[in-house]
Amino acid sequence: MANTLKLEIVTPESKVYSEDVDMVTLPGIEGEMGIFPMHVPLMTQLAAGELSVRKGGQEFFLAVGEGFVEITGERVSILTDMAIAAENIDEAKAEEARQRAEARLAEKLDDEEVAMVKATLDHSLAQLRVKRRHR
Amino acid sequence: MPSTRDIRRRIKSVKSTAQITKAMQMVASSKMRKAQLAALAGRPYAVLMNRVILSASQDSQDFVHPLMEKREIRKRGVLAVSTDKGLCGALNSNMAREVMKLDRDTTVFVTAGKKGAQFIARTKRMLAAEFLYKDAPVFAEARAISKKLQEMFLNGEVDCVDVIFTRFVNTLTQRVEVRRLLPIGETQMLLNETSVTSQPKAEQEQRATPEAGGLEHLFEPGAEHVLGAILPHFLNFIVYQVLLEAKASEHSARMVAMKNATDNAKQLIKDLTLEYNKLRQANITKELLEITTAQMALG
């Protein structure tokens, strides 16, 4: 059986990542999950946060937004609305987005807008968290 | 026999038409590039999402989400995606042809785009709702449409929902397609076509073989919860993708139509100019002839 996982990360805008990796740690909605090859098939929701990938002794980090994950023994498919590699995160921009979102939340909004602003806030927080941890 | 002045006038009017079509062609082609990129960029997401849903729906036999419930089809809901403006070749009439095939009494329409709504109204079919979408479709527009469709399905107003739209194949080819949206599970047909045209082979093979050993998926935190979250999102996204495809098709079709119009106008100008020159020459010859005859008669 394969001893690597095929990790696919896709966002509505593009295919961000598609490679064979050794291990994936992802922020599930019920807590962090480490996925090794031969994992039982599983479907879950993804929370905004940090996703780390181990490949050949090296580790990569990505900031991801909410989404869905499908895991099979040899494959991890991640559908999310945001995925940015740690080195591509623009901290100043994320910080600015966070502040804007927080300011917007203070205003009166209907439910749909609140959900949207919250999502942006989560995105920027996830980016900031990843960036600050891996400096 | 038209006079030289008539011909001159025609040339002028054809020229200004050519100018307009040329300008429209330019506008369409710049919009087309953007729309095409957007449509193509969304496809991998749609394909992967499709695969995820497919395996998820197979593995959750004990739980049927309301959006996946199969019912006997008495009323059909159809989402007809058209353009807002004309002058885009056969796009809208192709769609209209598909609409004509549907049974008038048992089909309820929801439209996106003005032309479709006009057509449904003109042919006196049932129109439940009418939506507009912008030149660059945004997700919120798709969400509004998909929300309406879901409501109709869940209320039992309709027993299935189809979508008629033009899929963007390439700049010269756009194809009208009818696909099932609801109940989900039959939806898998929706994007198969896409994978054939745009996905590399390996991807297709991977899609073709069902997950190894047919192991059942676990759901965390539970099938109900996960499916409840992913299915509406899936629909929203599919509708969004459909809008993007429709837009890409529209701009491509318009670009081609306008290019043809410009070419035709140029050809017409050429022919008219030739005719004009001939006529002018004939007039001169005639006048010369008259002058010489007059002189001979006098002399």
pLDDT at position B60 is 61
DSSP of B233-258:
HHHHHHHHHHHHHHHHHHHHHHHHHH
Which is more confident, B215 or B209?
A: B215
- Domain spans of chain A? 5-86, 89-133
Please state the rounded mean pLDDT for residues A100-121.
Answer: 78
Mean pLDDT, chain B, rounded, equals: 82
Dihedral of the alpha carbons of B146, B152, B153, B155, in degrees to the nearest 10: 140
Q: Is the dihedral of CA B15, B21, B25, B26 positive or negative?
A: positive
B113-166 confidence digits (pLDDT tens): 888 888 888 888 888 888 888 888 888 888 888 888 888 888 888 888 888 988
Tokens of B45: 């997401």
- Is B215's CB within 8 Å of A15's CB? no
Q: In chain B, which residues have their Cβ closer than 8 Å to the Cβ of A13?
A: 41-42
Q: In chain B, which residues have their Cβ closer than 8 Å to the Cβ of A74?
A: 212
- Is A73's CB within 8 Å of B215's CB? yes
Cis amide bond preceding A12, omega within 30: no
- Of chain B, the percentage scoring pLDDT greater than 70 comes to 87
Which residues of chain B have a Cβ shorter than 8 Å from any chain A Cβ? 41-42, 44-45, 48-49, 51-52, 55-56, 59, 211-212, 215-221, 225-226, 229-230, 233, 237, 240
pLDDT at position A91 is 78
Query: Do strands A49-55 and A42-46 pair parallel, antiparallel, or not at all (unpaired)?
Result: unpaired
**Cα–Cα distance for residue pair B283/B42, rounded to 1 Å:** 64
Q: Residue B149: which of B231, B222, B218 has the closest Cα? A: B231
Which residue range forms the structural domain that includes residue B33?
25-210+217-254
- Is B45's CB within 8 Å of A12's CB? yes
Chain centroid to Cα B155, Å, comes to: 29
Q: How many domains does chain B have?
A: 1
Residue partners of B23: CB distance under 8 A and separation at least 6: none
Q: CA geometry: angle at B136 spanning B135 and B138, to 5°? A: 125
Q: Residue A10 is nearest to which of B45, B216, B230, comparing CB atoms?
A: B45
B44-100 confidence digits (pLDDT tens): 888 888 777 777 777 665 677 788 777 788 888 889 888 888 888 888 888 888 888
Q: Is residue B17 part of a domain?
A: no
Q: Could you tell me if A4 lies within 8 Å of chain B, comparing CB atoms? A: no
pLDDT at position B280 is 94
- Is B229's CB within 8 Å of A45's CB? yes
Q: Which domain CATH number covers B75?
A: 3.40.1380.10
Total residues found in chain B within this entry: 299
Q: Is residue B282 part of a domain?
A: no
Which is more confident, A61 or B293?
A: B293
**Cα–Cα distance for residue pair A109/A113, rounded to 1 Å:** 6
pLDDT at position A2 is 59
pLDDT at position B261 is 94
- Is B226's CB within 8 Å of A8's CB? no
SS3 state at B77: strand
Taking the alpha carbons at both ends of chain A, their separation in whole angstroms is: 37
pLDDT at position A135 is 64
Which CATH superfamily is A5-86 part of? F0F1 ATP synthase delta/epsilon subunit, N-terminal (2.60.15.10)
Are the C-beta atoms of residues B293 and B286 closer than 8 Å to each other?
no
Q: Residue B226 is nearest to which of A8, A12, A44, comparing CB atoms?
A: A44
Tokens of B168: 């963007």
CA distances from B98 to B200, B215, B248, B253 (A): 30, 40, 20, 18
Q: Is residue B276 part of a domain?
A: no
Tokens of B202: 């390996």
Beta bridge partners of B166: B176
| Smallest Cα distance from A112 to chain B, Å | 10
Are the C-beta atoms of residues B235 and B146 closer than 8 Å to each other?
yes
pLDDT class of B205 with cuts at 50, 70, 90: very low
| Topology classification of domain A89-133 | 1.20.5
| Burial of residue B284, with CB atoms counted within 10 A of its CB: 0-12 exposed, 13-18 middle, 19 or more buried | exposed
DSSP of chain A:
--SSEEEEEE-SS-EEEEEEESEEEEEETTEEEEE-TTPPPEEEEEPSEEEEEEETTEEEEEEE-SEEEEEETTEEEEEES-EEEGGG--HHHHHHHHHHHHHHHHS---HHHHHHHHHHHHHHHHHHHHHHHT-
Nearest residue on chain B to A30, alpha-carbon basis: B221
Q: In chain B, which residues have their Cβ closer than 8 Å to the Cβ of A44?
A: 219-221, 226
